[in-house]
């Protein structure tokens, strides 16, 4: 590696280390004295909080101390300290007027920590069923001898009410609780008074107003049958299923009041839907020095069929690709949490490696498990006419056009445990896909294509100002040689979503005139440090690496590395990014640097 490139790597690593340096702490609102227990002291200091500046006058310092004292008392009670003494005070300047400005101080004597000496539940009005009483007492979960924290009392009351409601008592609510704080033996004895009400049976679903949605379709999504015992989790699940479709501005699912019950005592569930605008038009653009400019126009229609369907027409105009496609999405197809997606489109691609045009049709079914786990199965049919460059006697020529009909079966799994789809700061993502593929026509082949990608995000501070992100992607084609796989279906690396610093498709084997060949195997890895300077602006440093191999696995000499810097601007829903990167293993034909502009983090 050349000295200049070695220096860039060292500088990039140094910048990554610098990002890990925490931001300067603000000034505590008041200093805490007299508390030796570390856990209690931390809780008090968190409650007291920080100020942006030190007080300039004794009056201001005194006011801060009084305000901080109230916060400290709340923290003490929350932690189970009720025999406390909290004295707000001020430390003055030196008598000659020099030295530090006045400071707010809290002098605290926590006293002994009070303990729970038992707890009980009293029923106001009719008692619920015996098994529900047992569930309520178990949900209370206050252990004799545990710290008598005020927060634990409130949490226990909430758990009792939730446990009762979950078992059919929809109108259950807390009464006036009694909490005896005994300063003689330093104990806390809470008694929870609960109004259970009547056990409720649910009826069917009423949709008012229905808008463009068919009421029968909404009824089919309900996870209960008329006559089932009320369960708030089932009511919430129906609301989630409707919100997940993305076609409503708001969704409300509520149990009707007792006076709306039918002759059998069953109460209907009211669903209120507010449709989003039926049509939307979106424009987006991107730019990179290797791929040029690109414009996407997306026209979307919502809920035309009355079952939360989405129809999207997309036109992409870019220097390397032109594409038009229509997409129909049917959420909760045949059963809840299952989505049918059908796509048909025309495309025309002119890349350094190949030219291709054709028609593509796909259909797949995605099954969701939990909030962000998906399994997908589908079919795809691609009728294309393509030509790739080839080398004959050290001369590169455009090969003959080939008409190929390609069919594939898709199986994929995706798990997302990150905290944000466009700007993650914590968590991880994993996705994998496998495609048995058959090609007929001017090219005949049968092969198995697999690829997998994982990324992880590590926040180095509480407010996620500094984030380290990593990514690994692997892919391979089994059962075929390079000549058996049409150029558009090979693996390529390089570019903004791959290895920055290199042009699109530039990594891997090339012909004599630097035309990319693509390959049968793929390796990509990225390491990125992200630092938020202000509420909107941020900077990143990164190193990307990648390889394309002509066999099932890349070889050691196939690897290329790029590094660079970037800026981010938060648009509210996600960041816009601008990156500049250089190739650290520059070959003939590679540019000195590449620039990328797009929306969302690189990964």
Distance in angstroms (rounded) separating the CA atoms of residues 337 and 376: 12
Asked whether this chain's domains 28-109 and 201-275 adopt the same fold, the reply is yes
**Can you list the positions of beta strands (E) in 290-372?**
292-302, 310-318, 321-330, 338-350, 354-369
Domain boundaries defined on the chain: 28-109, 115-195, 201-275, 279-599
Does CATH number 2.40.160.50 belong to domain 279-599? yes
> Of 28 and 447, which is predicted with more confidence?
447
Chain segment 76-91, per-residue pLDDT in tens:
998 999 999 999 999 8
The DSSP string of 435-474 is EEEEEEESS-EEEEEEEEEEEEEEESSTT-SEEEEEEEEE
Give the span between the Cα atoms of 278 and 300, in whole angstroms.
8
Taking residues 68-82, what's their average pLDDT?
A: 92
Arithmetic mean of pLDDT, 325-338: 95
Decide the pairing of beta strands 395-398 and 402-416: unpaired
CATH 3.40.640.10 fits 115-195, yes or no: no
For residue 316, the model assigns a pLDDT of: 93
**Residue 7 confidence (pLDDT) above 80:** no
28-109 is classed in which CATH architecture?
Answer: Roll (3.10)
Torsions phi, psi for 71 (to 5 deg)? -65, -40
Task: Report the DSSP beta bridge partners of residue 392.
Answer: 395
- Give the phi and the psi of residue 265 in degrees, each rounded to 5: 85, 10
Which of the residue ranges 76-90, 167-181, 282-296, 353-367 would you say has the lowest mean pLDDT? 282-296
Q: Which of 282-291, 339-348, 414-423, 545-554 has the lowest mean pLDDT?
A: 282-291
Contact (Cβ atoms closer than 8 angstroms) between residue 324 and residue 345 = yes
Assess whether pLDDT exceeds 70 at residue 582. yes
pLDDT (tens digit per residue) in 91-106: 875 544 556 788 889 9
User: Looking at residues 364-379, what average pLDDT do you find?
Assistant: 92
Q: What is the CATH number of domain 201-275?
A: 3.10.20.310
Under DSSP, the state recorded for 80 is: T
The token duo for 302 is 């919502």
Q: DSSP code of 213?
A: S
Flag the least confident range among 154-158, 255-259, 553-557. 553-557
Q: Mean pLDDT across the stretch 256-266? A: 88
Classified as helix, coil or strand, 218 is: helix
**pLDDT computed for residue 394 by the predictor:** 67
pLDDT at 242: 95
Look up residue 517 and give its DSSP letter.
Answer: -
Place of tokens 């500049």: 580
365 versus 505: which is more confidently predicted?
Answer: 365
pLDDT in tens, 160-201: 999 999 999 999 999 999 999 999 999 999 999 999 999 999
Which residues neighbour 80 within 8 Å (Cβ) at sequence distance 6 or greater?
Answer: 113, 114, 115, 147, 148, 149, 150, 188
Following DSSP, what letter does each residue of 362-416 receive, concatenated?
Answer: EEEEEEEETTTEEEEEEEEEEEEEEEEEEEETTEEEEPPPEEEEEEEEEEEEEEE
In the chain, % of residues over pLDDT 70: 92
Whether the full predicted model's pTM is greater than 0.75, yes or no, is no
Around Cβ 409, how many Cβ atoms within 10 Å?
A: 13
pLDDT of residue 21: 42
């Amino acid at each position: 590696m050349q000295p200049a490139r070695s220096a860039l790597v060292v500088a990039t690593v140094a910048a990554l280390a610098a990002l890990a340096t925490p931001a300067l702490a603000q000034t505590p609102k008041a200093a805490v004295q007299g508390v030796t227990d570390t856990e209690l002291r931390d809780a008090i200091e968190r409650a007291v909080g920080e100020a942006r500046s030190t007080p300039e006058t004794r009056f201001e310092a005194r006011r801060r101390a009084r305000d901080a004292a109230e916060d400290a008392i709340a923290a003490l009670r929350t932690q189970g300290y009720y025999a406390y003494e909290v004295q707000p005070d001020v430390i003055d300047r030196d008598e000659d007027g020099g030295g530090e400005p006045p400071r707010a101080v809290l002098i605290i004597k926590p006293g002994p920590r009070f303990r729970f000496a038992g707890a009980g539940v009293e029923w106001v009005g009719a008692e619920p069923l015996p098994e529900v009483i047992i569930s309520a007492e178990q949900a209370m979960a206050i252990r004799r001898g545990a710290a008598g924290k005020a927060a634990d009392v409130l949490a226990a009351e909430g758990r009792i009410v939730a446990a009762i409601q979950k078992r059919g008592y929809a109108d259950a609510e807390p009464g006036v609780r009694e909490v005896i704080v005994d300063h003689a033996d330093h104990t806390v004895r809470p008694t929870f008074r609960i109004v259970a009400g009547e056990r409720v049976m649910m009826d069917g679903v009423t949709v008012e107003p229905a808008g463009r949605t068919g009421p029968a379709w909404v009824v089919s999504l309900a996870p209960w049958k008329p006559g089932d015992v009320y369960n708030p989790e089932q009511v919430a699940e129906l609301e989630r299923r409707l919100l997940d479709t993305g076609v409503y501005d708001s969704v409300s699912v509520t149990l009707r009041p007792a006076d709306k019950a039918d002759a059998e005592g069953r109460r209907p569930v009211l669903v209120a839907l507010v449709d989003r605008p039926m049509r939307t038009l979106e424009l987006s653009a991107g730019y990179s020095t290797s791929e040029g400019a690109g414009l996407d126009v997306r026209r979307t229609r919502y809920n035309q069929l009355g079952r939360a369907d989405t129809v999207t027409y997309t036109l992409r105009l870019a220097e390397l690709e032109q594409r038009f496609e229509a997409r129909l999405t049917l959420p909760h197809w045949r059963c809840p949490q299952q989505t049918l997606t059908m796509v048909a489109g025309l495309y025309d691609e002119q890349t350094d490696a190949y030219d291709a045009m054709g028609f593509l049709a796909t259909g797949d079914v995605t099954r969701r498990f939990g909030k962000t786990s998906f399994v997908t199965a589908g079919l795809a049919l691609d009728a294309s006419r393509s030509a790739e460059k080839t080398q004959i006697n050290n001369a590169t020529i455009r090969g003959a056009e080939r008409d190929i009909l390609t069919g594939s079966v898709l199986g994929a799994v995706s798990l997302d445990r990150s905290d944000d789809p466009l700007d993650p700061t914590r968590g991880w993502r994993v996705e994998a896909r496998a495609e048995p593929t058959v090609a007929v026509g001017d090219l005949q082949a049968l092969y198995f294509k697999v690829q997998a990608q994982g990324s992880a995000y590590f926040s180095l501070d509480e407010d996620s100002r500094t984030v380290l992100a990593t990514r690994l992607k692997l892919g391979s084609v089994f059962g075929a040689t390079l000549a058996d796989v049409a150029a558009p279906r090979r693996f390529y690396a390089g570019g903004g979503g791959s290895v920055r610093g290199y042009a699109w498709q530039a990594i891997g084997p090339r012909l004599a005139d630097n035309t990319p060949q693509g390959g049968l195997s793929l390796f990509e890895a990225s390491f990125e440090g992200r630092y938020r300077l202000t509420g909107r602006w941020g900077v990143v440093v990164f190193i990307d690496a990648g390889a394309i191999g002509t066999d099932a696995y890349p070889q050691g000499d196939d690897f290329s590395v790029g590094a660079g810097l970037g800026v981010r601007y938060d648009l509210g829903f996600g960041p816009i990014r601008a990156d500049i990167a250089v190739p650290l293993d520059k070959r003939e034909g590679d540019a000195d640097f590449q620039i990328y502009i797009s929306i969302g983090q690189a990964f």
